Amino acid sequence: MLFASFMFAIMGAFAKLLSDHMSSVEVVFFRNFFGVLLIGYSIYKTPMLHRGGKIWLLFFRGMMGFLALGAFFYNIAHIPLGDAMTFSKTAPIFTAILAYFLFKERLSIGKNIAIVVGFVGIVLIMQPSGFSLSKTDLLGIFSGIGAALAYTSIKELRQYYETRAIVMSFVLIGTLVPAILMLLSPWFYTPSLDFMFCEFVVPSATMWFWLIGMGVSATISQIYMTRAYGESKAGVVGAISYAGIPFAIVVGVILGDNLPNIVTIFGIILIIICGIVVSRRDRDV
């Protein structure tokens, strides 16, 4: 899981390099396009076997995953990599809240306290001016909420679809929707909607190298993360996954990000503590 977290930070580094030359929407397009090719080839070699029946939930999972990834990549382009990574790591907080309301899963006193602590950490990272939040703050929060909605839907989808179908819903929607948005950009683009509409940029040779690096590092991260969850308790592995935040901070600084200030560091620490507590199952404690 440590290696998977490091590779995920490397993926973020490639995305940040690409964001200097193309929009986050196009980065998301290429990130998922490679996934469609890989999953599609796997399905071609070994056809899927499942009963199906929840097509709209499958579409919902794919759309929420795409929107969360889009918000994450937009923030990678506009705020320090460590901050963007921390926002995405708030997903367990929102997953616990959604599980309580949707599936009536009980939360212990410790987890309730951890959720409150996590929200304090989010506020410390955002450091809002008055009651106003920046676009990156709002998108950062949504990257956690969107990921939580996607993760929550998987619990139901696993009863109807195999894993490849669930992943394909994500990467296929994450390829088609950005392509449509880029086609519509000449008519709908405004600076305030730059996280949705953009002009397509033909990648240069260097950009293709970064795109391939992003795809390879993301795939390696996914493989080793899956292996980690298969080898040990989910709570232990989930806790180690937060190593991705300091990895992202270091990689971001190498790429030119400023070191986080003391308030931001404290907020990151609170979110890490909260995420570890909330993501652990009672039997893992």
Encode pLDDT of 226-257 as tens digits.
677 667 666 677 778 888 899 999 999 999 98
Structure tokens at 263: 């308030």
Whole-number pLDDT of residue 281: 56
Whole-number pLDDT of residue 53: 80
Whole-number pLDDT of residue 285: 38
With 0-12 CB in 10 A as exposed, 13-18 as middle and 19+ as buried, what is 46?
exposed
Q: Residue type at 27? A: V
Structure tokens at 146: 């969107």
- Does the pTM surpass 0.85? The reply is yes
Q: Nearest-CA neighbor of 274 among 149, 126, 125, 120?
A: 120
Side-chain-side CA neighbours of 284 within 13 Å: the count stands at 15
Whole-number pLDDT of residue 195: 80
Whole-number pLDDT of residue 11: 92
Whole-number pLDDT of residue 70: 92
Structure tokens at 11: 């993926």
C-alpha to C-alpha distance for 113 and 8, rounded to whole angstroms:
29
Point out the residues of the chain with pLDDT beneath 70. 129-131, 226, 229-230, 232-235, 280-285
Q: Is the dihedral of CA 123, 128, 130, 133 positive or negative?
A: negative
| Helix/strand/coil percent split, the chain, to 5 | 80, 0, 20
Side-chain-side CA neighbours of 173 within 13 Å: the count stands at 20
C-alpha to C-alpha distance for 186 and 144, rounded to whole angstroms:
30
Q: Is the dihedral of CA 175, 185, 191, 214 positive or negative?
A: positive
C-alpha to C-alpha distance for 280 and 267, rounded to whole angstroms:
20
